[in-house]
């Protein structure tokens, strides 16, 4: 007789989800990560004027509001033939990287570190035993938010960006403060990542299962001129494809237990084409943080890609290093910016299809629009957790099966399932867009 055991809601993640264990007698059939929030933003923006879309899409997620806005602007500009100045693209990139820092600090310290330090609870319980670590966590998160605020007008749901321009350009003192913040972040993180690199070992409690295939995927580039890079489960690059190939390369399917769609590589089918995106996938790229000469010096090449892909705990290591790398990239981008030239008024009679692609904190984010005379006629979004969705469910089933006895998942299994979900850091508001 089949029955479903509903576990306590997953905690310390963005959004609400249940974990449903399906049992047939003494046999575990599946473990499902159930997300039942209905969002509908793809439909909300149908028929909307392009000037207002930025306000809507940034509300998809408070943690990724900059990334959604920038991807939206990229798609609209691509569709309407608006050529954004290089300096504007670089400053948008600075905002996205600031969001990386704030989001990674939240995930690493507030959501995952209590597990690593075996704290019974969250950040407030952690503060009792490690007040200096919690102070560090707030400083890094606030620094990332301040970078966004200086360019976006506020630290969430920015108001300063426009089509091909800034509605309110940053002042020199804004740029100076962002640079100072980036330098401070690097100074704060240098001893931390140096210690992590020194102590790092290629093993962990939660290793990737050996008995099913999956791929890593990331995007190199700031807009539609970049390329997708796909890696096998050992970190070897197996293919590269262009932005305009996304719909023929990536397939989607719906499942009856989750409002988030499941994405996979069409070439390999399902389940062999299951994907993982995010910090670990970005580490494998040609221009990922591991290719940075300074980080290579700090790590003394102790953290090879082939070992990172062995265990899920690598996600946390990658978030920590990405914060340091992102701050350095912000400094580099600011060095190349002198002024932001103005652009001509858009052709409001234009009709076209455009795509915006970038790496949000949790991984790939894609907006694709059909625009007609300044109005959105069609929209399609792909978000990071949507790509990771299938892997999360297969991994949960594998963990649950390994810790299933006497008709239930044991205490260790319960702990590891929660840890697994937090390491993958799903954004459920984005996933059910």
Neighbour count for residue 414 (Cβ, 10 Å): 17
pLDDT in tens, 270-317: 999 999 999 999 999 988 898 888 988 888 778 888 788 988 889 999
More confident residue, 132 or 406: 132
pLDDT of residue 10: 67
**Cα 221 to Cα 237: distance, rounded to the nearest angstrom:** 17
pLDDT of residue 7: 65
Band (pLDDT 50/70/90 cuts) for residue 5 is low
Q: What DSSP designation does 14 have?
A: B
pLDDT of residue 303: 83
> 363: closest CA among 413, 316, 425, 303?
425
**Cα 433 to Cα 431: distance, rounded to the nearest angstrom:** 6
Which of 92-106, 327-341, 349-363 shows the lowest per-residue confidence on average (mean pLDDT)? 327-341
Tokens of 423: 């390491």
pLDDT for residue 246 is more than 70: yes
Pairing, β 215-220 against β 275-276? parallel
Average pLDDT for the chain: 87
pLDDT in tens, 84-125: 999 999 999 999 999 999 999 999 888 888 877 777 777 778
pLDDT in tens, 35-92: 777 777 788 888 899 999 989 988 888 888 999 999 999 999 999 999 999 999 999 9
More confident residue, 323 or 131: 323
Element (H, E) at 398: helix 384-402
**Cα 187 to Cα 194: distance, rounded to the nearest angstrom:** 11
Band (pLDDT 50/70/90 cuts) for residue 33 is confident
Asked, as a colleague might, if the bond just before 271 is cis with ω within 30 of 0, I would say yes
pLDDT of residue 347: 86
Helices (H), 153-215: 172-199
Residues 6+ apart with CB under 8 A from 344: none
SS3 assignment, position 27: strand
Domains with residue ranges and CATH for the chain: 41-201+331-379 (1.10.645.10)
Question: Which residues sit opposite 352 in a β-bridge?
Answer: 371
CB-based contact 357:219 (threshold 8 Å): yes
**Cα 193 to Cα 200: distance, rounded to the nearest angstrom:** 10
pLDDT of residue 8: 60
**Cα 419 to Cα 114: distance, rounded to the nearest angstrom:** 10
pLDDT of residue 15: 66
Neighbour count for residue 211 (Cβ, 10 Å): 5
SS3 assignment, position 32: strand
pLDDT for residue 230 is more than 90: yes
pLDDT for residue 187 is more than 90: yes
pLDDT for residue 1 is more than 70: no
**Cα 228 to Cα 225: distance, rounded to the nearest angstrom:** 10
**Cα 350 to Cα 371: distance, rounded to the nearest angstrom:** 8
pLDDT of residue 362: 92
Report the sign of the C-alpha dihedral through residues 148, 419, 398, 36, in that order.
negative
pLDDT, mean of residues 369-391: 91
Tokens of 296: 């290579």
Which of 9-23, 315-329, 352-366, 409-423 shows the lowest per-residue confidence on average (mean pLDDT)? 9-23
């Amino acid at each position: 007789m089949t029955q479903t055991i509903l576990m306590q809601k997953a905690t310390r993640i963005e959004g609400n989800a249940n974990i449903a264990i399906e049992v047939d007698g003494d046999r575990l059939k599946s473990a499902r990560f159930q997300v039942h929030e209905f969002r509908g933003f793809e439909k909300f923006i149908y028929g909307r004027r392009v000037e207002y879309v930025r306000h809507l899409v940034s509300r998809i997620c408070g943690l990724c509001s900059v990334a959604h806005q920038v991807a939206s602007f990229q798609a609209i500009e691509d569709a309407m033939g608006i050529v954004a100045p290089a300096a504007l693209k670089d400053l948008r990139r600075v905002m996205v990287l600031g969001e990386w820092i704030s989001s990674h600090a939240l995930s690493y310290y507030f959501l995952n570190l209590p597990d690593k330090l075996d704290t019974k609870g969250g950040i407030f319980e952690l503060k009792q035993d490690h007040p200096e670590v919690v102070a560090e966590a707030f400083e890094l998160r606030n620094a990332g938010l301040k970078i966004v605020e200086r360019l976006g007008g506020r630290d969430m749901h920015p108001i300063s960006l426009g089509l091909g321009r800034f509605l309110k350009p940053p002042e020199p003192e804004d740029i100076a403060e962002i640079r100072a913040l980036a330098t401070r972040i690097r100074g704060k993180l240098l001893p931390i990542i140096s210690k992590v690199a020194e102590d790092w070992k290629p093993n962990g409690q939660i290793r990737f299962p050996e008995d099913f295939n999956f791929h890593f995927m990331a995007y190199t580039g700031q807009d539609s001129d970049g390329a997708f890079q796909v890696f096998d489960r050992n970190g070897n690059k197996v293919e590269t494809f262009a932005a305009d190939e996304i719909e023929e390369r990536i397939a989607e399917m719906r499942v009856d237990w989750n409002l988030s769609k499941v994405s996979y590589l069409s070439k390999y089918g399902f389940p062999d084409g299951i994907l993982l995106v995010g910090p670990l996938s970005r580490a494998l790229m040609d221009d990922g943080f591991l290719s940075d000469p300074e980080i290579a010096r700090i790590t003394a090449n102790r953290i090879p890609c082939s070992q990172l892909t062995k265990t899920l705990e690598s996600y946390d290591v990658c978030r920590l290093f990405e914060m340091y790398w992102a701050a350095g990239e912000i400094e580099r981008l600011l060095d190349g910016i002198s002024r932001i030239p103005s652009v001509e008024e858009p052709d409001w009679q234009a009709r076209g299809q455009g795509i915006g692609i970038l790496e949000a904190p949790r991984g790939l984010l894609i907006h694709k629009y059909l625009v007609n005379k300044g109005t959105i006629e069609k929209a399609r979004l792909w978000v990071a957790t949507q790509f990771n969705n299938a892997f999360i469910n297969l991994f949960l089933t594998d963990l649950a099966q390994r810790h299933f006895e006497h008709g239930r998942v044991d205490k260790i299994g319960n702990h590891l399932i929660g840890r697994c979900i937090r390491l993958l850091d799903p954004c459920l508001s984005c996933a059910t867009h």
